[in-house]
């Protein structure tokens, strides 16, 4: 009983924190120029965080992804980056192809 209350409290607090930060971003976004240094800095931080998470998933995966070889994950990553660039930054095609390629390479 108590553990379910803690889980509900954790979900509520994290949801509230996420909502507040997004709400404040929406309010202040009109005042920030896209070409300003602060906007470029936040953009760099966001992309570097995303790159670090993707790198961690490829080099040190968890769960089912850990069952595949590192070379397979790197090959699929390179193919999907190329597909992303070729498809004019379409996210759907590389995502679907990555699942198909991982399943195919792991079954060989």
Q: What is the pLDDT of residue 51?
A: 92
Other beta carbons within 10 angstroms of residue 83's beta carbon come to 17
How many residues in the chain? 108
The model's pTM: 0.63
Q: What is the pLDDT of residue 104?
A: 95
Residue spans of the chain under pLDDT 70:
1
For residues 100 and 80, give the distance between their C-alpha atoms in angstroms, rounded to a whole number.
11
For residues 105 and 101, give the distance between their C-alpha atoms in angstroms, rounded to a whole number.
6
Q: What is the pLDDT of residue 24?
A: 86
């Amino acid at each position: 009983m108590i553990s379910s209350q803690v889980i509900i409290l954790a979900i509520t607090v994290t949801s509230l924190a996420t909502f507040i930060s997004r709400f404040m971003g929406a309010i202040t976004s009109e005042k920030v120029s896209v070409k300003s240094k602060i906007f470029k800095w936040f953009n760099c931080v966001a992309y570097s965080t995303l790159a670090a998470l993707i790198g961690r998933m490829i080099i040190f995966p968890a769960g089912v992804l850990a069952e595949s070889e590192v070379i397979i994950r790197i090959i699929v990553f390179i193919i999907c980056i190329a597909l992303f660039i070729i498809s004019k930054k379409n996210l759907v095609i590389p995502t679907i192809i990555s699942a198909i390629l991982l399943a195919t390479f792991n079954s060989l």
